[in-house]
Amino acid sequence: MKKLMLVIISIVVAMISAVVLITQPLLLGDGLVKNESKYINYNQILKQKLADNQIQMSSPIKLSKSDDIGKYCSFFKSEEKQKLVQYCTSTELKDQSGVFLGNIHMVGTREEPKIILALIQTDKSERQLGLVKTVFATISDNTVCDCWSDKKPGGLTDIGQWVDGIYQFHHGGSKPHSKSEPVSLDGKSMDLEITTNDDGYLWQLFVYS
């Protein structure tokens, strides 16, 4: 199995991400969930839509055994909240040259994802902002609704304006981490975050059902 980049996240009040490189295969055993249609549908649709924009998305790694979830999908500091994570999928994103871009993770019950987390690593220039906008807009359009331009949540005309706004705010400040105000759309809530790291910026989009 190819090297897999997974993300382990600890949540106190706000979510703060740290990328962890896993260099060994995941041993999944036979703990896969039969009723996983929404996870499959979301991942298949995103893979197709991203491919239309020259972004490669891997097939998802699927985790449902408690030991695997605890090791690779530990998203909450609270044990009670972490117990709610019964199923987890993880995919890799690469550009058309095969360069690693980030991940999309989905966690939730055995029936449906409750949180979708997308992470994109960029350099500190503005030339990759289009990539961030494409990935995040694809996720919003296909897991929330294709209605942003009609409803204009937060007064934003599109998700690109949201990305530009937090980029300008973060770039003009001195703190290593910036977080947007939550945006509500079609009954779901979304957060956008950006963190400065050694490679540039780690972008994070959270979609909460």
Identify the DSSP state of 154: G
Stretch 157-167: mean pLDDT: 96
pTM equals: 0.82
CA gap 138, 158 in Å, rounded? 12
In single-letter form, the type of residue at position 139 comes to I
In this predicted model, what pLDDT tens digit does every residue of 78-128 receive, in sequence order?
A: 787 777 789 999 999 999 899 999 999 999 998 899 999 999 999 988 889
| Paired strand residues for 93 | 57, 102
Measured between alpha carbons, how far is 45 from 118 in angstroms, rounded to an integer? 15
Q: Which of 10, 35, 204, 191 is nearest to 109 (CA)?
A: 35
pLDDT at 22: 27
Q: Label the pairing between strands 113-122 and 15-22.
A: unpaired
Check: CB of residue 158 under 8 Å from CB of residue 132. Answer: no
What pLDDT is attached to residue 93?
A: 98
Percentages helix, strand, coil for the chain (3-state, rounded to 5) are: 30, 35, 35
Residue 142 identity (one-letter amino acid): N
Q: What is the pLDDT of residues 38-76, one digit of tens each?
A: 999 999 999 999 999 999 999 999 999 988 888 888 877
Distances (CA, A) of 59 to 25, 95, 115, 146, 154: 15, 15, 18, 24, 34
**Any idea where the domains of the chain sit in the sequence?**
4-23+32-208
Query: Does residue 204 register a pLDDT over 90?
Result: yes
202, β-bridge pairs:
121, 195
| pLDDT tens sequence across 12-37 | 223 333 333 322 333 333 334 445 68
